[in-house]
Amino acid sequence: MAMAALRREGRRFAPLISPHPMAAIRSSIVPAEEQAPLGVRSISTQIVRNRMKSVKNIQKITKAMKMVAASKLRAIQAKAENSRGLWQPFTALLGDTPSVQVKKDVIVTISSDKGLCGGINSTSVKISKALNKLNSGPDKETKYVILGEKAKAQLIRDSKKDIVLVLTELQKNPLNYTQVSVLADDILKNVEFDALRIIFNKFQSVVAFLPTVSTVLSPEIVEREAESGGKLGELDSYEIEGGETKSEILQNLAEFQFSCVMFNAVLENACSEQGARMSAMDSSSRNAGDMLDRLTLTYNRTRQASITTELIEIISGASALEG
């Protein structure tokens, strides 16, 4: 009888002296199909904690990027607004005639060198491709001049043979007219054209920009349009002073017009880029905050479930000892 009593007591205390006593107690109160491996709860809370830490770091980065973009926007916006007065006299004199049909079209696509600014670059590329398709024909030739890494990365996939010049890192230094005029002169020396179609995003507000196409005609096309009595027919009403001929004056005007339009286009696109980046980073910060709230709720629920389970295990162990 003594041995029988000892065996009964041994079976009673076996869960407490087993290598995994808590697992034995859990098996008595939790169904086998609902049990998780030992340590899973602590691992899951650690994973959630790490995820929360990562999201907090991302939120700090996006908020900092938004502040940097806002600072850059304030610096560029005043320049862009002042530059609008440069090309407007040329538009009044020479007009802006995107419907002019010419044989040699050059599309100047202006984009950014960096990403994280929404769909601003994709919009410019889509308009460039649509304009290329619109002006294509058996006797016509269309080429690309690309400013910015993002437009280059997209256009080089299916239009590599049509790209004649690529210029990048425009905003490495603060933008000024001298820098842009050198770029414009480089384009004029290396590209033959009848019309330059400059595609950029005109800044309207932090959350809005307008895709814009400005057309600069070559001196020969300007003279042809003036002689045909079109929109440029009023050029003959101006009196030319000095020893320069009409062709020389039109050549100088076309070069100066292109540099002024380019200067305004680069500044407008830079403003639109920073505004789009501000908007994108603000959305990212808010999304990170929402994700952090959900992760915090998940962490608290997991932690509370772990504490509840441990309390049940302690009470069950005490009950087993008393019984």
3-class secondary structure per residue, 91-128: HHHHCCCCCCCCCEEEEEEECCCCCCCCCHHHHHHHHH
Within 8 A by CB and 6+ apart from 298, the residues are 48
Give the dihedral of Cα atoms 199, 140, 219, 233; nearest 10 deg: -90
pLDDT of residue 224: 79
Q: From residue 239, how far is each of 91, 227, 234, 254, 257 by CA, in Å?
A: 19, 16, 11, 18, 20
Q: Which CATH architecture has domain 87-231+245-272?
A: 3-Layer(aba) Sandwich (3.40)
Quote the DSSP letter at residue 32.
G
| Rounded Cα distance, 154 and 157, in Å | 6
Considering the chain, what is the average pLDDT of its residues?
Answer: 82
3-state secondary structure of 210: strand
- Amino acid identity for residue 49 in this structure: R
Tokens 């505004």 locate to 275
- Amino acid identity for residue 119 in this structure: G
pLDDT of residue 203: 93
Within 8 A by CB and 6+ apart from 272, the residues are 120, 200, 201, 202, 203, 209
Cβ-contact 203, 271 below 8 angstroms: yes
Q: Of all residues in the chain, what percent carry a pLDDT higher than 70? A: 81
Low-confidence ranges of the chain (pLDDT < 50): 1-42
- Residue by residue, DSSP assigns 34-49 as G---TTHHHHHHHHHH
Spell out a b/e string for 83-101, using b for 16 or more CB atoms within 10 Å of the CB, else e. beebbeebeeebbbbeebe
The number of C-alpha atoms within 13 Å of 47 and in the hemisphere containing its C-beta is 8
Q: State how beta strands 195-205 and 104-110 pair.
A: parallel
The domains of the chain are located at 87-231+245-272
Strand partners, 215: 197
pLDDT of residue 244: 72
Q: State how beta strands 208-217 and 195-205 pair.
A: antiparallel
pLDDT of residue 135: 84
Sheet containing strand 208-217, strands side by side: 163-167, 141-147, 104-110, 195-205, 208-217
